[in-house]
Structure 1
């Protein structure tokens, strides 16, 4: 058994190098979980804490989505390429459950539909889109506006634009710009549009998820927190209602404030439902 904290790499089908770390047993010796981050996030401290809670009972793989952290990127972007990245990671772990955070939950569901039994279960934590609303999944500024800022060489404005999309008070932005994490946010600003396209693909395109809910037959858990926003609660309810094998739960706290032990318990329960020993 092993715990790997240094970067390891796998290669996606288009040649992009994807960085990851492993916590827990050597792949193949225990159930596996792959964490799929949301917008402007990669390998968050809270997911490392959850992996530590899962300990030697579960192999947990956390990775940098393309264009983030130590992973590479290859143009042009497509959601299919991100699914290919997950497929390459499943070559490392073997069949695994996906834990998708925020917009990453919809990417995890897309992978579950595309990759079939390679994905054993899906946990969607704080989904951001009400699939029953009839509204556009992604604010156009999250794609076209962000891409225009990046093309103009102004990633900081791309981040500010996204913060406005999600409703951050403008008075907090200067404080964020002065923080040590701002440079990292600017470095991955182009990937904001990637998450916008993941959301758009829920309802738009030839392979829209809304036309494929019945293909996601894996056990699913849709979770929010006791302190999650009302919009997140509504989104979680709507998503659980359309997935064939979904259960709905609410954990204490929200976002990065959820106790790692509570999230680890939810993941372990999902693995049991999936029949993973």
Structure 2
């Protein structure tokens, strides 16, 4: 029978407490999948639905990335620390596949490169950046602009700035500010810059992912939705082309609208590839 453990915690290498929940069989008795959310998201209802659809086929661990939900946050931020968080979660599950959503896909790939055999496979759901484009992977406002807004105590403007970066029409902002979810977005506004740094790390720095694709030898699925935008499809195709052991898959729907059962089947497909059910 599927069970859910709520409000469990582990501790990362720098002492930060990381909150997670676990759905399905006891880790070690079934393959495991760790869900890595994208920008401004944590433990979304849709990923709980995917975990429920997986049932006893997999132990599904969802967690609050540092600075979100019930997890702590220890400055200064670095992508290495987020990889350490994943390593701490793998102490709970044992070797596991990673499901990276949107910008979380690139954190999953960084973890796959850094953690080696601890990561058994990666499912990249609608990655946000076309790695073949030659364009900068992130708008500078997503880092410096957001950090300035947060520093002066205006997290709402940080969220607005990010929404402008991703192209949300300004006419929708008043309605968003009045929505019940707005306070939650402001609470995790500092983490927008964290995702900005993850995206920047695709091409920048001495450990840039762009020079490490060959190290990500784990089986990978790069997935998008049948109704997703052409830019999303281009990004998925470009990423699948550079990963040594990647396959492409397209699921019905798009984004958060993909049927949980379809995503669960994609996860199961990946787990079969790495020796699961």
User: Secondary structure of 1:138's match?
Assistant: coil
User: Secondary structure of 2:39's match?
Assistant: coil
Match of 2:216 in 1: 216
Asked if the contact 2:57–2:268 (Cα under 8 Å) also holds between the matched residues in 1, the reply is no
Whether 2:103 is the aligned partner of 1:103: answer yes
Asked if the contact 2:20–2:61 (Cα under 8 Å) also holds between the matched residues in 1, the reply is yes
Match of 1:141 in 2: 141
Match of 2:152 in 1: 152
User: Secondary structure of 2:202's match?
Assistant: helix
Match of 2:63 in 1: 63
Asked if the contact 2:112–2:119 (Cα under 8 Å) also holds between the matched residues in 1, the reply is yes
Match of 1:89 in 2: 89
Displacement of 1:4: 2.5
Whether 2:131 is the aligned partner of 1:131: answer yes
Q: CA–CA distance in 2 between the matches of 1:3 and 1:213?
A: 36
Asked if the contact 2:219–2:246 (Cα under 8 Å) also holds between the matched residues in 1, the reply is yes
Displacement of 1:229: 1.3
User: Secondary structure of 1:202's match?
Assistant: coil
Match of 1:16 in 2: 16
* TM-score scaled by length of structure 1: 0.99
Displacement of 1:5: 3.7
User: Secondary structure of 1:203's match?
Assistant: coil
* TM-score scaled by length of structure 2: 0.99
Q: CA–CA distance in 1 between the matches of 2:153 and 2:269?
A: 46
Displacement of 1:150: 0.3
Whether 2:178 is the aligned partner of 1:178: answer yes
Match of 2:51 in 1: 51
Q: CA–CA distance in 1 between the matches of 2:2 and 2:88?
A: 20
Asked if the contact 2:2–2:55 (Cα under 8 Å) also holds between the matched residues in 1, the reply is no
Asked if the contact 2:2–2:52 (Cα under 8 Å) also holds between the matched residues in 1, the reply is no
Displacement of 1:14: 0.2
Match of 2:120 in 1: 120
Displacement of 1:2: 6.1
User: Secondary structure of 2:193's match?
Assistant: helix
5+ residue gaps, structure 2, are none
Asked if the contact 1:122–1:219 (Cα under 8 Å) also holds between the matched residues in 2, the reply is yes
Displacement of 1:180: 0.3
Asked if the contact 1:2–1:26 (Cα under 8 Å) also holds between the matched residues in 2, the reply is no
Q: CA–CA distance in 1 between the matches of 2:264 and 2:53?
A: 6
Displacement of 1:276: 2.6
Match of 2:272 in 1: 272
